[in-house]
């Protein structure tokens, strides 16, 4: 099949490369000539494991190419995917659909023959209906149908997620459109991947509901971590005990500094705005959003407390800046909230991230300096903070870390070293997340009051 993907960002580039790996001929279109020129030279604009090789292989096979001219690419395509950004709109948090609408208008003018226009971008419920009206208004004679095919790609494992997904969701309105989408995903159907066909509105909601639920799991376990610190529990064991229940599952139950990235923050906000417009407030999701924002800011206070209550004049070594490992994505990363607060408190900050420093420089370069490797930033620091759980931070030479630090403080916001006592054996004062070692210093709880009354 011939396919056009509009947008060569994270979703568009990964989707286009993976569709070409299925055997389809894919043209990825972008308005940025410099970006297209770089892609044609084999330069990938994002870091995603395996993507460079996948693109190179399919370009060499003649199944994947890149272009600026949308009209030529769309004219012969059976399916055109819109994979442009839908950032949060300033002021109200709604998804900004201006790029989606602009792409749809250009597509309408170029289609020939029956064409399925597919929203791969994350769009609020009702967008498919609005786009279909826009297409018919722009090109009254065009034979088009809008479908919804939300993406569920995790940064760092996006290719695996596309090639071996838990499910494929397709929102369609006719048998003709279903036949086109079935042809596109036939390789996955042969592997018995569940493909859910439903109406467009349902497909659009599935994406938002899925992300909101995962964000809720993260928010929940973070609050349980805070409770563990007060009452003497260990959140890692709590999460394991919960996750062994098949109704709950272990994923997204890792306590930390709060969620970030390109999806959860903007999608939870967009879902809240949609629900408000529909007169059906989502109070649980609203609480999750507020708790996550508060948590990111509070992480700086944890670091300051671990340093004795002040970081004025102290050097802090940060390991990791991106919102998660195996990506260079800095969008909504906890580091964007933590670094400025530490800087304002008087800290000197040195940071190292395996892939994110180029992306972090324009965002945080005024507030920190970068080092060549973990030990370069740790040398002479008053504390080391693990902010992103890159694999190379899981195998630090802790004896060397202890020798290099000016003060033996380790703040592990990802609980990389949360199991066992290895940091302490090397003389480090270890501070994890959701560990109740300091519960004796916490204010009395209701449980404490009842226990004391019983003893009296």
Annotated binding site for substrate: 152-155, 207, 252-256, 260, 324
Structure tokens at 405: 């630090």
Q: Which residue has the tokens 């000197």?
A: 348
Question: CA 57, 161, 7, 116 torsion: positive or negative?
Answer: positive
Number of neighbours of residue 204 by Cβ within 10 angstroms: 25
Distance in angstroms (rounded) separating the CA atoms of residues 218 and 400: 33
Structure tokens at 247: 């109704």
CA distances to 309, 425, 442 from 439, in Å = 18, 21, 5
Concatenated DSSP letters of 47-85:
--TTHHHHHHHHHHTTSEEEES-HHHHHHT-SEEEE---
Structure tokens at 333: 């990363």
Q: Which residues are catalytic?
A: 263
Burial class of residue 295, CB neighbours in 10 A (0-12, 13-18, 19+)? buried
Q: Which residue has the tokens 């400025």?
A: 340
Instruction: Give SS3 for 170.
Output: strand
Annotated binding site for NAD(+): 30, 35, 86, 122, 155, 266, 331
């Amino acid at each position: 099949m011939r396919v056009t993907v509009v947008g060569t960002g994270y979703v568009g580039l990964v989707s286009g490369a993976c569709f070409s790996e299925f055997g389809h001929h894919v043209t990825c279109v972008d308005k940025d000539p410099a970006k297209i020129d770089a892609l044609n030279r084999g330069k990938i604009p994002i870091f995603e494991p395996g993507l460079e090789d996948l693109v190179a292989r399919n370009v060499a096979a003649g199944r994947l190419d890149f272009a600026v001219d949308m009209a030529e690419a769309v004219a012969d395509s059976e399916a055109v995917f819109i994979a442009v950004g839908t950032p949060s709109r300033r002021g109200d948090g709604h998804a900004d659909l201006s790029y989606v609408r602009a792409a749809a208008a250009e597509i309408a003018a170029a289609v020939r023959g029956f064409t399925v226009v597919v929203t791969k971008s994350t769009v609020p419920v009702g967008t498919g209906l609005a786009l279909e009206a826009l297409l018919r208004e722009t090109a009254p004679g065009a034979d088009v149908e809008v479908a919804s095919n939300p993406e569920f790609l995790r940064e760092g494992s996006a290719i695996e997620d596309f090639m071996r997904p838990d499910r494929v969701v397709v929102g369609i309105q006719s048998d003709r459109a279903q036949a086109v989408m079935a042809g596109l995903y036939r390789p996955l159907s042969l592997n018995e991947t569940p493909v859910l066909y439903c109406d467009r509105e349902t497909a659009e909601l599935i994406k938002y509901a899925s992300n909101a639920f995962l964000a809720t799991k993260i928010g929940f376990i973070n609050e349980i971590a805070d409770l563990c610190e007060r009452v003497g529990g260990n959140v890692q064991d709590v999460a394991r005990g919960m996750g062994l229940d098949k109704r709950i599952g272990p994923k997204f139950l890792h306590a930390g500094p709060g969620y970030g990235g390109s999806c959860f923050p903007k999608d939870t906000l967009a879902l809240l705005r949609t629900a408000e417009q529909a007169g059906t407030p989502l109070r649980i999701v609203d609480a999750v959003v507020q708790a996550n924002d508060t948590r990111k800011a509070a992480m700086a206070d944890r670091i300051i407390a671990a340093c004795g209550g002040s970081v004025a004049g102290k050097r802090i070594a940060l390991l990791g800046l991106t919102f998660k490992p195996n990506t260079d994505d800095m969008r909504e990363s906890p580091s964007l909230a933590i670094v400025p607060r530490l800087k304002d408190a008087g800290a000197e900050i040195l940071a190292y991230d395996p892939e994110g420093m180029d992306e972090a420089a324009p965002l945080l370069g005024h507030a920190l300096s970068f080092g060549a490797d973990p030990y370069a930033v740790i040398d002479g620091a008053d504390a080391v903070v693990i902010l992103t759980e890159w694999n190379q931070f899981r195998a630090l030479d802790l004896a060397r870390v202890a020798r290099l630090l000016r003060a033996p403080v380790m703040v592990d916001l990802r609980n990389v070293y949360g199991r066992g006592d290895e940091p302490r054996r090397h003389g480090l004062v270890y501070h994890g997340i959701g560990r109740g070692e300091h519960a004796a210093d916490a204010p009395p709880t209701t449980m404490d009051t009842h226990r004391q009354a019983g003893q009296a």
